[in-house]
Chains A and B, each alone.
Chain A
Amino acid sequence: MKWFTTYNNGSAIDLRQIPSLSYAEFFEAVRERLSNPACHVAHYFGVPVEETRLRVWCMILNDEEHTIEVASYDVDYYDEELPSLTKEFAAMHPFERDMTERWGIRYDGMPWDKPLRAPSRSARRAGTVDEYPFYKMESASLHEVNVGPIHAGIIEPGAFRFICNGEEVLHLEISLGYQHRGAERQIETSKNLLRQVLLAEGIAGDSAVTHTTALVRTIEKLASFDSSKAGNLDVERAVALELERMAMHIADTGALCMDVGYQLGQVACEALRTMTINTTQLWCGNRFGKGLIRPFGTNFPLTDELRATILKNVEEIRRRYNEVRHDIKTTPSLLSRMEQCGIVNAQQMQRIGGVGQAARASGVARDLRVSHPWGVFTDRIAHQSIIKEQGDVMARLMMRCREVLQAADTITSLLTDLDCSVGSPAPQWEVKLPPYQLSTALVEGWRGECCHVAITDGEGRVACYRVKDPSMHNWLALAIAVRSEGISDFPICNKSFNLSYCGHDL
């Protein structure tokens, strides 16, 4: 059966247009699609329709066709014989766990059927977040190392359980949910668009621009608003996103330098990150770009003065950061720590449905700016993804280095000839949305693919809101990366991914 096909820069979808399949049809259709390496699942979630009935929505992206395919099936709490997709496609794992946890739907033969976020209303009714059923190996020569939920640094919480043979990590399992604060539910139950926007800003503070862009684009698509005709709005959003990418990649470069004891690289990057986020602050008054992304417009249209400042700072950051990059590449002691360490190969990355810079460092060319473009990436910028094959810590670091330079180029090219007198409209907060629509927006943040979905009810209210942070896919990649590494290499493996806890836990 044909799925409904749409595009990232397309419009919202009338729910009646989305095919409703039986689970058996759905299972076969997903299987067929995911067997194509150009396809991966972007979102898969259930929404209650009646007492014990759910409608489950699935979105699959095809990178070659640039399409988003959408289908649904209905399922009842008491339904049986729902074979698990996870068995064949590890990428489905977090989504099926989420379905089981939220709604009690059981998938037959699902491996590692474990809690995902341990929310208060978990359908599992089993235990607290601290009672996560970690995998165990019994042997007198093995030991376990437990880390967390509070870590040794100013960082978010999550529980990590290592099984080690001496120094060597045999297995790492990551239990999350400590940051769960009900973000999606707060967005769904709010009638105040400003409140929804601010909630998006706080889904993952290090990706405030990414998540807020995804939310406002989801709402704008529902309202049939074309941001490409709204003055410089698309350019401003792209510049904000690329500034965020620069800031975080530079921060992670510094963090990796710190963890291998390379202080010069660390402090140079700290200073460059400060310069980047202070540039964002000069634009919108907030170092993380909170306040910058608003629905249907902006409170901070670019001025000529600002444009010149951003161009000047970006050029300076680019020059200095490039020196750091050269330095890292020519220091053998750094290379020996980071090369051949924490490898995730292309096949593994493909299987788990990895996205973003981590996937690209493992040779999986997944980049929404190319595969599912929107805004400036549809016409003004012919983006070419940077791809590396090695899949080790060094590859992920060099990926960051190259993407910082590339982001600087993108900003420069967008701003150099920008006519700021065109301006951008002011935001709108009172907006009537059409009933029974599904709207989705995909945004390639610095961490990777961010996917937001809104479904409206009969009165045009956002009755269901679902968020997917790229971390949802990529946490498993970290667990794979540390296998057979020394446990002392965990910090650099972890920093090389720098995944989000709050974005995952919601």
Chain B
Amino acid sequence: MLFNKLKVFKSHGSQYIPDLKAVELPAIFRGRPELSECDAQTAEELVSMCPTGAITAAPFTLDMGRCLFCGECVRRAPQAVRFTNDYRIGATRREDLVVTTSTRSIPFTREAVRKEIPAMFAHALKLRQVSAGGDASVEMELNATGNVNFDFGRYGVEFVASPRHADGVVVTGPVSRNMAEALQVCYDAVPDPKVLIVAGSEAVSGGLYAESTEVDRSFYESHTPDLWLPGAPTHPMIFIEAVMNLIGRDRREDHTQK
């Protein structure tokens, strides 16, 4: 019996990522998109093919908050769009998610961070997650932030069971009509001051369900997220990097200016 455990233990080895700030994702990962100037016809074609209306033609922009990172626009017009493996794409302002032809990194706008967030949560941030019509993929990636590989708990950032124990809420999914009230109740149950994070493009904009009658996003009429995290799903590193910036444990500028 013990021998079997030792075997598992030995094969398992050491799995944690030693430096979470230096992670590089494989080149094929679709992270921050880069746009190049293209003719009006190509841009119009991309606008009409994009299933979530993430692309505009004049000016030529791509809104990561709507983008599902399917990459089909790259197939249609590789000269105009490409996806980089840059996962430093979380933003404190919704408008920072819109990529233009001159965007070569996503700014982390610190002026938009409320002062109490780094002051109070720099060394411990406990979050309550609410899935509201999410497809379980973002949820699984958020779970993965605490797993043996990413171990975000080392920075004191963890998910907790009760909103009463939490310092903030992470919302996934477009907010289904049937979850609208529960989301509000859960958010209200978190003591002040509290953080609101939306994870996944569906949570940011409604994604494919933005127009659905079964979705109710009125929650966002009275609450503004502190952190907007695109992705379908949001890769654990997108979450980890943005949250570390939010609580002042990392500076995106140090990585993007290299």
Contacts and interface: CB of A to CB of B under 8 A. Distances in A.
B164 to A, nearest CB: 12
B208 A199 contact: yes
Contacts of A265: 8
Interface string A242-261: 00000000010000000000
Contact of A204 (B29, B70, B135): B135
A185 B213 CA distance: 10
Given A180-B177, A327-B4, A500-B136, A267 B49 contact: no
A431 interface: no
A156 B131 contact: yes
Contact of A120 (B1, B209, B213): B213
A195 B173 CA distance: 17
A424 to B, nearest CB: 14
Contacts of B190: none
A251 B140 CA distance: 10
Given A120-B214, A291-B71, A270 B137 contact: no
A155 B131 contact: yes
Interface string B25-61: 0101110000000000000000001011000000000
Nearest to B144: A274
Nearest to B129: A154
Contact of B70 (A121, A198, A288): A198
A120 B176 CA distance: 10
B212 A182 contact: yes
Interface residues of B, number: 65
B98 to A, nearest CB: 20
Contacts of B51: 190, 192, 194-195, 198
A326 B28 contact: no
A340 interface: no
A502 B173 CA distance: 10
Interface in B163-192: 173-174, 176-179, 181-182, 186
Contacts of A185: 212, 214
B137 A205 contact: yes
B257 interface: no
A470 B64 CA distance: 33
A282 B72 CA distance: 18
A150 B186 contact: yes
Contact of B147 (A270, A285, A323): A270
Given A155-B131, A182-B212, A205-B137, A129 B148 contact: no
A339 B102 CA distance: 61
Interface in B112-139: 129-139
B204 to A, nearest CB: 14
B215 A181 contact: yes
Interface string A268-305: 10110010000001111111101100000001000000
A206 B147 contact: no
Contacts of B161: 152-153
Contacts of B240: none
Contacts of A181: 133, 173-174, 176, 209, 212, 214-215
B182 A157 contact: yes
A185 B30 CA distance: 29
Contacts of A84: none
Interface residues of A, number: 70
B148 A267 contact: yes
A271 B142 CA distance: 15
Interface string A175-213: 001111110011000101011001101111110100000
B175 to A, nearest CB: 9
A288 B147 contact: no
B224 interface: no
Given A181-B215, A182-B213, A195-B51, A118 B178 contact: yes
A195 B51 CA distance: 5
B9 interface: yes
Contacts of A194: 49, 51, 70, 72
Nearest to B51: A195
B137 A206 contact: yes
A462 to B, nearest CB: 15
Contact of A208 (B29, B132, B134, B137): B137
A185 B71 CA distance: 24
B65 interface: no
Contacts of B134: 156, 179, 205, 502
A79 interface: no
Contact of A268 (B12, B182, B212, B235): B12
A149 B71 CA distance: 34
B68 interface: yes
B173 to A, nearest CB: 7
Contacts of B177: 120, 180
A468 B144 CA distance: 28
Chain B CB count within 10 A is highest, among A199, A319, A327, for A327
A407 interface: no
A312 interface: no
B9 A264 contact: yes
Contacts of A206: 136-137, 140
A330 interface: yes
Contacts of B71: 285, 291, 299
Interface of B: 1, 4-5, 7-9, 11-12, 15, 26, 28-30, 49, 51-52, 68-72, 75, 83, 129-144, 147-149, 159, 161-162, 173-174, 176-179, 181-182, 186, 202, 207-209, 212-215, 232-233, 235
9 A-B pairs closest in CB distance: A205-B137, A195-B51, A152-B161, A205-B135, A182-B214, A327-B4, A129-B178, A202-B135, A182-B212
Given A157-B132, A182-B213, A192-B49, 11 more contacts: A154-B143, A156-B134, A178-B179, A194-B72, A204-B136, A205-B136, A281-B26, A326-B7, A331-B1, A502-B133, A502-B134
8 contacts: A154-B140, A206-B136, A264-B12, A286-B30, A291-B30, A299-B75, A323-B11, A324-B8
